[in-house]
Amino acid sequence: TMRATACLQLEGATQPLDNILHGLPQWSIDDGNYDEKRNRIRSIVRPLLSEVANMIVSWNPNDIWLKFRRTLLLEALKHYWKYEPSTLPTGVDSLLLYLSATDNPPKERHSEDIIGLRKKCGVSLVAVSKVVPDLLVPWLSQLSGRAKTLLTSGGLSPVNEMHLYEFLSSVATAVENPVDRSNFVADVLASSIQSLESPNIQNAIQSTEGLLSFMGITQAINPVCVTDRDFVKKVNTDFVILF
């Protein structure tokens, strides 16, 4: 549970780890050539950091709240991955896996714990991509394939999709070849573009009146509409598809 000893201990370690990794001088991690004292310190620090990174990446808890804590630890590694990215692909793959996590046993509606885990994974993916987008470029095709699978599964919430698109957008900015960049963006946005080109959306955006009606604004004049569950659900669905 959220209040279990293991969860609380890991939560207490997460922020200090992030602060330490963020505050380490570049010379203590990178491959540069420095004076003897710094090289000696680096020879001690790097193996220890590698051990910590491998422990976090290889850890595979079953409990939802431990997965949440692992997500926080993975996000903290973004500062380390900037200089030593060997565990980056596995770490990002874990975050993408958690983005589509479900309850065990499955429920008709996701529990608040699963919703929280998914949301935190999305935030962590974006945070990692902001720091090391260039290091994710070599795995562009794998990321594209994984993203399309997630986006077409129908299992992501609008918030999850937003985080995934922001993550992919950050990676796309690091692609130097304009053709590769445009192909990557077109590939991951294919389902969204297809939705926008559907007759339903095209009819809605042809006129101001059509758009207002599509968004439920015109009908909201009638108080009965805003309390109609089916109507509200349809408006929410249409809004997500359009925006």
- State the pTM of this model: 0.80
CA distance 137 to 33: 27
85: DSSP letter = G
What's 1's DSSP letter?
-
Q: Determine the pLDDT at residue 2.
A: 64
pLDDT along the chain (243 residues), means of 10: 73 87 92 91 94 95 91 95 94 94 86 93 95 92 86 86 90 88 79 76 85 86 83 81 69
Angstrom distance (rounded) from CA 216 to CA 235: 6
CA distance readout (Å), 208 to 201, 215, 216: 13, 11, 12
Tokens found for residue 70: 């692992």
Place of tokens 């990446």: 57
Helix, strand, coil share of the chain (percent; to 5)? 75, 0, 25
Length of the chain: 243
Encoding tokens for residue 73? 């630890």
Question: In the prediction, which pLDDT does 1 show?
Answer: 60
For 142, the token pair is 């794998």
76 closest CA partner among 20, 115, 29, 150: 20
